[in-house]
Structure 1
Amino acid sequence: MPDSAAVRRVRLSEADRVRSIRLEALRDPAAGIAFLETHDQAQARPAGFWQERAAGAALGEFSAQFIAEAGRDWVGTATVLIPEPGGVDYFGRPHVAGRALVVAVYIRPSHRGGGILSALMDAAAEWAGDQGQRELALDVHEDNARAQAAYARVGFVATGMTSAGPNGVEREMLRAL
């Protein structure tokens, strides 16, 4: 990989690092349109929240968080969710069977454009496929052209579907597995 970063699933013992990269992501200039929580909200969460989040991301059957690690530094992350059949997603849309959701994608600005997004999405796709999913879906804010272009480069295609979220209009993109 160009940035010589390795991608792997988070580990149960890494709650502090899960919290740290989430807080870093929420400081990004695009965070206001890219994430559904604020830095202050995440920072106020108790240690138990982060331990539970790390446990689910490391061991869960319905969620997995992947990180890109350059040396000992975490420089990127993406989380995959498999919604409960018959349930609804974070925008209240009915879950589509065979569709995993990619959320909380972040790559440190100094490492963007070097192949990390592709590696994270490949790891997400492999895990989702192993869980019996047929496609990955994600939502990207209509004003986030940089992210839309990056996702298109790694195989996501805009469906033409939009949703009104708390941050504005989100465009749905899919990647077949």
Structure 2
Amino acid sequence: MIVWRVGPEQAATWRDLRLEALRLAPEVFDSTHADWSARPLADFEARLIVAPTFVAGDTPDHMLATASWMADLDPHDARRAWLISVYCRPAGRGRGHAQAAIAAVMTDAQAKGMRSIGLNVVRGNAHAFALYARLGFRDTGRTGVTNAHGTPEIEMMRDLDGA
């Protein structure tokens, strides 16, 4: 397995993975396949610039898992990163690809000065919740969190000190 940061030069390959995620798991993303499928490649390139994105795969031309992060989403903590857009293709599930992409995100966020990282996971997505728990994320207990579709979510956090 290899893990790398995806740059704009790989936007076409990453676009395929992103659109697959939005098509096969629409309930877990705020964006929709309809929102992104007609967009030009330049929009995917721009997304890769503003949201550091890491992928894991068996070869550089076959991305199996992706994870991104963003800063400046928490008005109360400028040094909290947010894990976003996590997806793993069925061929990579249970093989550590998603975990590796998320670990790369956490390492990068910490290197950029982030002290903690948060995420939201759809309530009832037991596999994703278990993965995040194994990676040290804990349920914050915050109530009333929903995604753009109104689906209840669980907010999870983890410190990055010593990640």
Secondary structure class of the residue paired with 1:133: coil
Counterpart in the other structure of 2:104: 123
Residue 132 of structure 2 is aligned to residue 144 of structure 1: no
Asked whether the equivalents of residues 67 and 83 of structure 2 are also in contact (C-alpha less than 8 Å), the reply is: yes
Superposition pairs of residues 1-177 of structure 1, within 5 angstroms: 5-28=1-24, 31-54=25-48, 56=49, 63-71=51-59, 72-83=61-72, 89=73, 94-162=75-143, 163-167=145-149, 168-177=151-160
> Which whole-Å deviations, capped at 9, do the CAs of 1:111-131 have from their partners, x for residues lacking one?
111112221121111101111
Take 1:120 and 1:102, find their aligned partners in 2: how far apart are those partners? 11
Unaligned runs of 5+ in 1: 58-62, 84-88
Using the TM superposition, give the Cα deviation of residue 95 of structure 1 relative to its aligned residue in structure 2, in angstroms.
Answer: 4.4
Asked whether the equivalents of residues 55 and 63 of structure 2 are also in contact (C-alpha less than 8 Å), the reply is: yes
Take 1:146 and 1:171, find their aligned partners in 2: how far apart are those partners? 13
Structure number having the greater helix percentage: 2
Take 2:79 and 2:155, find their aligned partners in 1: how far apart are those partners? 16
Unaligned runs of 5+ in 2: none
Take 2:119 and 2:19, find their aligned partners in 1: how far apart are those partners? 21
Take 1:95 and 1:18, find their aligned partners in 2: how far apart are those partners? 32
Using the TM superposition, give the Cα deviation of residue 27 of structure 1 relative to its aligned residue in structure 2, in angstroms.
Answer: 2.2
Asked whether the equivalents of residues 121 and 155 of structure 2 are also in contact (C-alpha less than 8 Å), the reply is: yes
* TM superposition score normalised by structure 2: 0.88
Take 1:9 and 1:95, find their aligned partners in 2: how far apart are those partners? 28
Take 1:156 and 1:81, find their aligned partners in 2: how far apart are those partners? 17
**Residues paired across the two proteins, number:** 157
Asked whether the equivalents of residues 23 and 39 of structure 1 are also in contact (C-alpha less than 8 Å), the reply is: yes
Take 1:32 and 1:24, find their aligned partners in 2: how far apart are those partners? 10
What residue identity is the alignment partner of 1:38?
A: T
Take 1:173 and 1:39, find their aligned partners in 2: how far apart are those partners? 25
